[in-house]
Amino acid sequence: MRKMRAIGIICLFVFMLPNHVSAQSTENEHIFTAIVRGSAAEFAFSLPEQETWTWNRKETEDNYLEYAWQVSLTGNDLKGTYNFGVYLFKYPHSNEISGSIDELIYRAQASIFDKSLNVRDDLSIKSFIQDKKLIIKISDKKTFSELFLQHPTIAHCRVRTPYANANYVRQIQIEFK
């Protein structure tokens, strides 16, 4: 548990640092959606037109967060803040790998952090690629109840990759249907 907490703290700290690729995409290039239907939520990140992705890159330092697609939920009460998403770190002695976005996501971890930066192993999210988007889905009843207990209204997304055309930050109203 201490190891997961340390990884969570490192993850969020590194995630807030400036991207090692300094260029940011323009607002219109990327779409992020946050939709709640009944007791399920779906967050969709647009992906760039790119067939091959590379991870564990030689240029990336060991123990560095190389890829992240993260969502933070907030509302009127900041006590309800959670961060969750898909994260890929470069571990020491990792070999550089190239492949599809599906392969990259398969190797990444899907995690949920509470406001205290504790990894919430008791909560679960699913991630998958569909229609050139990375989808993070919350369909587990306990996870949905916990994340939406404070009735969040805003979804903040942040995407961090080694590719300048794939990084962006968005804040949108959560759409309830």
pLDDT digits (tens, 9 = 90+) for 63-75: 999 999 999 998 7
Q: Higher model confidence: residue 79 or residue 92?
A: 92
Q: Higher model confidence: residue 114 or residue 15?
A: 114
Contact 154, 14 (CB under 8 A): no
Q: Per-residue pLDDT for 150 more than 60?
A: yes
Query: What backbone phi and psi angles, to 5 degrees, belong to 158?
Result: -145, 130
Contact 110, 128 (CB under 8 A): no
Confidence of residue 117 (pLDDT cuts 50, 70, 90): confident
Burial classification of residue 49, based on how many CB atoms lie within 10 Å of its CB (0-12 exposed, 13-18 middle, 19 or more buried) = exposed
